Structure 1
Amino acid sequence: MENGSQHPGRRVVVTGATGNVGTSVVRALAEDPGIGSVLGLARREPALEIPGVEWGTVDLSRAESEDQLAGLLHGADAVVHLAWRFQPTHDPVVTWQSNVLGSQRVFEATARSGVPVLVHASSVGAYSPGPKDEPGVDEEWPTHGWPDAAYCREKAYVERVLDTFELTHPQIRVVRMRPGFLFKETAAPEQRRIFAGRYAPGPLLRPDLLPFVPDIQGLRFQVLHTDDAANAYRLAVLRDVHGPFNLAADPVIDAPRLAELLDARIIRIPRALVHTALTAAWKAHAVPASPHLFDAVLRLPVLNSSRARDVLGWRPAHTAEDALNSFLRGVRAGAGEKTAPLAGRKIR
């Protein structure tokens, strides 16, 4: 039974509340009768109205944000830390200030404000390279990331920060979520901009216009519908659990499954060729996704999510294929939400 039924009216603060994961998490929390109120924090206040959700602004990259956070977290029963900047990939100092130093400020403000629960958004990207075969790695697999990729390097570093935080603040229940790739329809425009660039023509992502799928060595990954990940965060807030949880849906995605999904044929492409092309495009600022992240993706291990099922009581409601189809629908339609990160735009 969820502890929320014993402690009605819990107040939860969510950082990064206007992004892909944040918008799903605040909705999941606000709809739960065990949650009394939700405060969503972001750098920019959205024009989004969700019953039971209040909005506030804070820039975690600024040193003074810790004092501001301490005030905002006062009286909270749990903090869900989701805020994360993916760009600019050409200036890792900017992302480090927001992601690593910003996370440290959230953690310290949580302790200063006496909040008893901290749920942090880690990632499959925090894991060291590992096996691509099922049943996958469990939560004991090393979390040293792929050092060339800023995203993985930062996720892994924050894991070390949390190690120290837990030792220093044993009274705080800390949960770390390590999901695979997260997709939903209304987040598709944001993800297209993050990985392919602002001017990538979304409507071209139609099966009839994608005649082949590249089969690249190591291209085997896991995805999850964002709403399913949000449910795991909700459970982590309400249930007396701690530690890391892998989150992924079946099946594992590879070239044959992508080809079946897109009704396209498979063409084997050397990894080095793709890396060289992506490096040239990234250096020319033609695409925002760095070749280092591409290298990391090809090395990510397959996750075993048994602990989330057995300890958290979590089950995904969508398959991995459902999540990918949601993403494709959103890219083609230009879907979005009334937040700065998720603003949709139809490109004709």
Structure 2
Amino acid sequence: MVSPMHTVAVTGVSGNVGQRVLRLLDADPTVDRVVGIDARDPRFRPHKLSFRRLDLASADLVPVVAGADAVVHLAWVFGPPRDEELLARVNLAGTRRLLEAATTAGVKSFVFVSSAMVYGAWPDNPVPLTEAAPLRPNPAFAYAAQKVEVERLLADWAGAHPDAAVTVLRPAPALDPDNDHWLARAWRGAGAVRVRRPPPPMQCVHEDDLASAVALALRKGLAGAFNVAPDGWVPGEQVRPLVSPGLGVALPERLARRVMRLGWATGLLDTTPAVVPYLVHPWVVANDRLEAEGWRPVHSNEEALVAARPLPAWRALLARRRQEVALAAGGGVLAGLAGAVVAVVRRRRRAP
């Protein structure tokens, strides 16, 4: 740590990772106060927490961040992915405004949780990817592209503030069983449509381990980019038994893309076809650089994957019943989508 962290501002403090980071900061005797920022109330509210319920994209952040020695930026909007203007307003404009407030406050440490998805999923990716790999997110995938844009903003801010330690963490997916959003479902193969082929090698970092990486970055004042993932990865052929995919329809890759494109365009599916490369090409990362700084993951990839999927027995029973109803109602829709795509392809082939 470059200087004592008397006050730490944490955006996204009410999320699962934010709550874990808050617990670690609450237990840290060098931290006197935590300014928690989120659009919803946190469950865990220790005495150190000064909570501010606000929107990063519209609230005046200067008085909120004033007095902070460090900022942890966890807040991120995953979707709806079709509303890219909303995503840009919150994720990009919100980050710019946070950096402006950090400048005014004279913040000496800034930690941003990015994503391993910034490397992109490509057939020529080395396995594993190191921090030296180029950032080349797949086209049209707004989630990864905006993470890259925020990393660029942070690089510019770090250049203008050489006395500040700027840390970019690039974690493997940290899945949350209580927040099964569209991206998590697609990545687990649990969406309405999935690609019929063995998935690429997979990594999953436990939220506790990601929180400990954030705490380490703050404590040591780390500067630069660091991948966050357990040691190794799960081979593709061993993934499905661990992630427990849902009852979605498995289709060949080209047909899956077309069905997803049509379903996305009509609003019947919530998964953008831009995510497909991440379901078929490798993008696992090396953790050597962070481990050299003393970070050690407690949970393996397999443990993190399994921890993210279980439901209590009563919830599993209700979920199973919902799946039965959804399958009965949605099977015809998916079949219709697939049939429509096949018909369009045939018409195009016949056209002069």
TM-score by length of 2: 0.78
Report the Cα offset of residue 144 of structure 1.
3.2
Instruction: Flag the 1:292–1:29 CA change in 2: closer, same or farther, 3 A.
Output: same
8 A Cα contact 1:123 1:177, kept in partner: yes
Instruction: Measure, in 1, the Cα distance between the counterparts of 2:43 and 2:306.
Output: 27
**SS of the residue aligned with 1:54?**
strand
Distance change (3 Å), C-alpha of 1:123 and 1:315: same
Q: Does 1:152 align with 2:144?
A: yes
Contact 1:127 1:143 in 2 (8 A): yes
> Is the contact made by 1:251 and 1:321 (CA closer than 8 Å) also made in structure 2?
no
The 3 A distance-change label for structure 1 pair 120 and 276 is: same
Distance 1:254 1:45, change over 3 A: same
Q: 1:132 touches 1:218 (CA, 8 Å); kept in 2?
A: no
Percent of aligned positions with the same letter in both sequences?
29
Structure 2 gaps, min length 5: 323-352
Structure 1 position 105 matched with structure 2 position 86: no
Matches for 1:71-150 after TM superposition, within 5 Å: 71-130=63-122, 131=124, 134=127, 136-150=128-142
Kept in 2, the 8 Å contact 1:195–1:288? The answer is: no
Does the alignment pair 1:161 with 2:150? no
Q: CA, structure 1 residues 262+12, in 2 after alignment: closer, same or farther (shift >3 Å)?
A: closer
Contact 2:243/2:306, CA 8 A, preserved across alignment: no
Does 2:274 match 1:292? Answer: yes
For residues 313 and 180 of structure 1, what CA distance do their matches in structure 2 show? 18
Match of 2:177 in 1: 188
8 Å contact kept, 2:8–2:69: yes
Query: 1:12–1:37: 8 Å Cα contact kept in structure 2?
Result: yes
Aligned pairs, how many? 310
Q: Can you list the C-alpha shifts for 1:184-204, whole angstroms capped at 9, x where unaligned? A: xxx32312466559xxxxxxx
* 1:45 pairs with 2:27: no
Does the CA contact (< 8 Å) of 1:217 and 1:271 recur in 2?
Answer: no
Bigger relative contact order, structure 1 or 2, given CA contacts below 8 A and separation 6+? 1
Select the structure that is richer in helix. Answer: 2
Structure 2: distance between partners of 1:215 and 1:57 = 43
> Could you tell me whether the CA contact under 8 Å between 2:195 and 2:252 is conserved in 1?
no
TM-score (norm: length of structure 1): 0.79
Alignment RMSD, CA only?
3.0
* Alignment-derived partner of residue 271 in structure 1: 253
Tell me by how many angstroms 1:218 deviates: 5.8
| 8 A Cα contact 2:15 2:42, kept in partner | no
1:209 alignment partner in structure 2:
none
Query: Relative to total residues, which structure has the larger strand share, 1 or 2?
Result: 1
Match of 2:57 in 1: 61
Residue 332 of structure 1 deviates from its aligned partner by 6.9
* 1:122 positional shift: 1.1
2:32 is matched with which residue? 36
- Structure 2 partner of 1:325: 306
What is the CA distance between 1:47 and its match in structure 2?
4.7
